[in-house]
Amino acid sequence: MSTSLKPKGLTSPLPQAPRGIVGIPTLGKIGDVSLTSVPLLDDCHPGFKPTEYNVVIAPAEMAAKVGSIHIADETRERMSDAQQVGRIIRVSPVAFNYDRWPDGSAPPQVGDIVWFARYAGATFEGQDGRTYRIVKDKDISGIIEEVTHAPS
């Protein structure tokens, strides 16, 4: 006797979710975050100047729904804590002030869209009501290049 997990009325088996997916989309991949969801520099006014090796980042905004499925506010809040893509808004004068940078590279700058460590730093609400993340400069893993035209 076989036990089937399909509901009554279905003639085909239920589709299997890809490994790692548990009801909500996996976040953190650059492909999962539309760069249009990253706030513009001119729209950000945190009212906060970082000190030491800190950087203020405006994380990408979470979508209110995926396809036709609305995401609950509590889930969106948890997902936004795991966000790893954002725009650098403010940089401390000593951040990224290392002895040497590899030839041909430059440290991240204000306005760059960056990839940073999951759950890094702390969040705060800026003067403009937007949520910002303050992270250490070493929590920034890389700069995401914005494509202005389709590759040929």
Tokens at residue 8, please?
């009554």
Q: Domain 37-144: what homologous superfamily?
A: GroES chaperonin (2.30.33.40)
Average pLDDT over the chain reads: 77
Whether residue 4 is predicted with pLDDT greater than 50 in this model: the reply is no
- Distances in whole angstroms, Cα of residue 103 to Cα of each of 106, 107, 112: 8, 11, 19
Phi-psi region of 139 (alpha: psi -120 to 50; beta: other; left: phi over 0): alpha
Name the band, by pLDDT with cuts 50, 70 and 90, for residue 10.
Answer: very low
Residue pair 57/141 in contact by the 8 Å Cβ criterion: no
Q: What is the pLDDT of residues 18-38, one digit of tens each?
A: 433 333 333 344 555 667 788
* Other CB atoms within 10 A of residue 123 CB: 13
Distance of CA 71 to the CA centre of its chain: 17
Specify the higher pLDDT residue, 116 or 75: 116
Q: What is the pLDDT of residues 52-85, one digit of tens each?
A: 999 999 998 877 777 788 888 888 777 777 778 9
